[in-house]
Structure formats: C-alpha cells, structure tokens
Structure 1
Amino acid sequence: MRDLLEAVAAGEVSPAEAEARLAGYATGDAGRFDAARETRRGVPEAILGDGKTPAEAAALAETAVETTGRAVVTRTDGAQREAVRRRLADTHPEAEVSVHERARVVVVHAADYSPPDLDATVGVVTAGTSDAVPAGEAAVIAREMGATVDRVDDVGVAALTRIVDQLDRLRSADVLVVAAGREGALPTVVAGLVNTPVIGLPVSTGYGHGGEGEAAFVGMVQSCSVLSVVNIDAGFVAGAQAGLIARAVDGAADGEGADAADPAVASDDSE
C-alpha cells in the first residue's frame, strides 16, 4: 500500500486508479465504475449508455480508461458518442477511440493498453440486416475479450441455401452467436448442423402477434436443437458468453483447462 501511495504522490498513479486497486472500483460524479470485473469475472465492465446523459457517459469512460486502460460504452446515441470523443481527446489525447456506429458501441484504448489475444474464433451470424445492431454489439464484446470474430451475415431461413453455403465457416468456429428476429428459427437450424456451442440472440424485429422479439425468444427457448438463449437484443451478454467460451477453448489448447490444473485428473497414478 505504501508503494501505491508513493506512486500517487509522485503523480505516477491517478487517485482514481489507486482507489480502483484498493477497493475494486472507482467513484466519480457519474457513479461507480467496477474496475475489477474483468479480473474477477473475465468479462470487461461496460458502461450502458441508456439512461445516461452525454456528460455522464463521457465521465465514466474517462474513469474506465484511467483505471483499466480501456472503456467500452454500449447502447450509445450520437450525442453520447460525441461527448466521449471530446472528453477523451482533452484528457487522454493519445488514446484510440473506435466508434462502432451500427452497433452503437464506443471503445477506447489507452496508448499503453495491451488487449487480450485468444486462440479461438467466435462466429457471429445474422439472419438479416435488421439483426445487425445487437449482433454487432456481441461481435465488439467478443473481440474485446480477445477472440477472433468471423461475421456471417444475411443467411436467414427464408432461403436455406444461404446458410448451407456457409457451413464450412460455421463449423470451423469455436462458438457461434446466431441473431434472428421474427420467428427466430435460424439458431435452431444452425444448432442442428454444427457440433459447436450455439448462443441464440433473439432480436426485436417482427410485428403483430409475437412481434418485438417475443416470438423469436420463445422459439429459441423451445428449440429442439441444443442451444442456449439470451434475452431479446442482449448483444453484450451473448458476446460475453461467447468470449468466456473462447477463453476456455484457448486455455484448453494451452493445457490450462480444468483437467490440466487438477493433478487428481491429470495423473494416471492417482487413486
């Protein structure tokens, strides 16, 4: 602790970063930022833009960069994206700001930030262009967790030849996030054709009875093919779950899986 206090006094560590190291979070005018979530859970802390003013989103993004070297701001609007750009340009001009307009996500990396790198591929599949927003969010999160992301777009079940043409790509991925609206049939079809984990992402498209993603969600939950399902439009959750699976795949390839870590399992001589 003394070393940390001396680093703060010397200007080498900001008060926000020191607080984050000691308490696991940093507190600012816009709220608390969970700086330890990625270390604790393996999933980066994200700043939800919904319900926040542009100034609040920007302030939390600055805190995130100061404490973890990275900020991920989701569900943003144009005003929030511009506020993040301006604030980080003033306080961290060396930082790299990436704006994913369609996915509504802003990612900021400090100049000295080292992103994770996993030897695993997450396939992000969409039934149609209308599914691009939550699917894009999932892709950004999986990529920020270190996975290689392969996008396979516009392969809905209205013309099954489109998905059949992409089977080799789908089967080569380590985990798939499959986004679909309306009746949500695509994840069920894909899960019946591949031997890799499939995460169904229902999208709030469709109209009339069962519209706004309700039919898609129920259809995926009732799937007779084996898959898991997240909530409607929950791109962050789908991407994070895929990223965790990618981490497990990477760890297994490196001999760091549960069996390798447990000598009772790894040894042939155990009784």
Structure 2
Amino acid sequence: MDNKYDILQLLRSVADGTTEPEQALLQLKEAPFEDLDYAKIDLHRSVRQGAAEVIYGAGKTPEQIAGIVQAMGNRGCRNILITRVSQETVNQLPDSIPLDYHADARLAIAYPAEHKKRGRIVVATGGTSDIPVAEEAALTAEVLGNHVVRLYDVGVAGLHRLLSHLDDLMSARCIVAVAGMEGALASVIGGLVDCPVIAVPTSVGYGASFGGLSALLSMLNSCASGCSVVNIDNGFGAGYLASRINQMEGLEEE
C-alpha cells in the first residue's frame, strides 16, 4: 500500500467481495515499512503525508542509496528525492535506476514521472550565490506537485529588481526567500505580500556572517508578519513546507 489510492482500492475490493477481509488485513499489516537492515523504509509516508519518504544522501554509501531507491521503486514509488548527494555518489549508482541529477542543488530525482502541478510558489534569492540552496527548494516543491516561479538575484542591494516582479510575488500562494549576508530579503518580501513567506538563511557572506548565523538571526527577528524561518541552507525544508502551504489552498488549476 504505497498511497491513499491503493488503500481506497483495497477497501473497495473488500466492500464488493473480491477480496477477503483477512487478506486485506494481511496486506495492510505488511505495508507500513520494509526492513533492509541498514534502513527501514517508511512505505506509508505517502499515505500519511502525501509524498514518498525522502532519502538524505549525505553519509550514505552508494550501495545503501541504491538499495533504498530500488526497494521504493519496486513498490511503485516515483519521483523519489535524494537530497545532499554528490556527483561522485550518483556516478556509482546502477544504470538500472532512472535518475535526474541536479548538481547545483546536490539533489537527485529517482524514477522521475510526470505529475499534475498546482498553485504557485515563488522562490526568490538575494544573490546569484544563493541559487544552489534555492534550487534545492524549487526542485523539491516541483517534485511534490507545485508550480514554481524562480526570481533569482533580486536582493535589497538593488531593490528595483525585486519591485519589477510584484505581479509574481502578489499572485503567489507561498514565497521562499533565500538570502545570505544580512538576510534582509525575507523582511522586504514579507512587507509586500499577503501570503506566507518562508525565509531560508544561507551560509553566503563574509567572515562576520558566521556561516549564515547572521542571516538566520536577522530573519528570526524580522518585523514583517507572516514570515517563518528554516535552518541555514535548508532549501529542502523550505520547499517541502511551501508545498504543504500551497496545497492547502485547494486543488484548482492556475
């Protein structure tokens, strides 16, 4: 049982008599996770949360990643996200695993498949150096079924660049603001729009930025209402949260 649709079909088959209740119970018992010894794959994640389990690639061997991905693929999971994975690791994965790799975001999508996209999320960056983190957020949101608009290098050092995209900002259901240095972008955007803003501090900046701590504290102290903050360089977390917010708004197409 890899998604809500599968469980619903199983329940309907019990209702119409084509499946015995005992057999249905057995399938549900066997479904929650698969034990690979080094990993216990949560196969009910998509039922509970609407998306398959995400694989954090850092610290895992190519063999471990391949084993997890293949087990999920065999159970029908598609668009499996592998975050923080290096090109070197990806090169060692078997050719039998269909894979789209995005080196700038250090993110791979296994068993990629077309799917419906809804709503609109804007991902904006203060500078070009913030793009790798922003791409992690944007790709995560896209894989989870959202329309994403990218506005890159629109930081406060040239405010007119941001203001030229007011239509995009004001038509978004959620905005991810990615910035290093002093992290002012999130506050500025938060003062312009009526949708939630997710601030992502990045480790971009000179010595006194303390590897992103300065941007993190600035964003936490934002005077603009409606801003939330994720951890330093956590593009994935921002993209996932933005997807949740966007898809709460309804299923209508843009």
Identity across matched positions, percent:
37
Following superposition, the deviation at residue 102 of structure 1 comes to 0.7
Q: Give the aligned partner of residue 199 of structure 1.
A: 198
Following superposition, the deviation at residue 29 of structure 1 comes to 4.9
Q: Give the aligned partner of residue 15 of structure 1.
A: none
- Establish whether residue 73 from structure 1 lines up as the match of residue 72 from structure 2: no
- Establish whether residue 106 from structure 1 lines up as the match of residue 89 from structure 2: no
Following superposition, the deviation at residue 53 of structure 1 comes to 1.5
Distance in 1, matches of 2:211 and 2:169, equals 27
Distance in 1, matches of 2:133 and 2:124, equals 11
Distance in 1, matches of 2:28 and 2:82, equals 19
Amino acid at match of 1:248: M
Q: Deviations over 1:134-170 (max 9, x none)?
A: 2111111111111011111000111111111111111
Distance in 1, matches of 2:88 and 2:127, equals 28
Amino acid at match of 1:133: P
Amino acid at match of 2:110: V
Cα pair 1:182 1:211 within 8 Å, conserved: no
| CA distance 1:27–1:128, shift in 2 (3 Å) | same
Could you say what the CA RMSD is over the residues aligned between the two structures, in angstroms? 2.3
Distance in 2, matches of 1:68 and 1:211, equals 43
Cα pair 1:177 1:199 within 8 Å, conserved: yes
- Any idea what SS the aligned residue of 1:155 has? coil
Following superposition, the deviation at residue 22 of structure 1 comes to 2.0
- Any idea what SS the aligned residue of 1:134 has? helix
Cα pair 2:52 2:77 within 8 Å, conserved: no
Cα pair 2:201 2:212 within 8 Å, conserved: yes
Amino acid at match of 2:63: A
Distance in 1, matches of 2:244 and 2:212, equals 25
| CA distance 1:240–1:19, shift in 2 (3 Å) | farther
Gaps of 5+ in 1: 5-17, 255-271
Distance in 2, matches of 1:150 and 1:30, equals 38
Distance in 1, matches of 2:29 and 2:99, equals 24
Cα pair 1:182 1:215 within 8 Å, conserved: yes
Following superposition, the deviation at residue 27 of structure 1 comes to 1.9
Q: Deviations over 1:204-223 (max 9, x none)?
A: 11122232110111000100
Q: Give the aligned partner of residue 266 of structure 1.
A: none
- Any idea what SS the aligned residue of 2:92 has? helix
Poorly superposed stretches of 4+, deviation over 3 Å: 18-21
Q: Give the aligned partner of residue 171 of structure 1.
A: 170
Gaps of 5+ in 2: 2-9, 11-25
- Any idea what SS the aligned residue of 1:201 has? strand
Amino acid at match of 1:100: H
Distance in 2, matches of 1:244 and 1:219, equals 25
TM-score, structure 2 normalization: 0.82
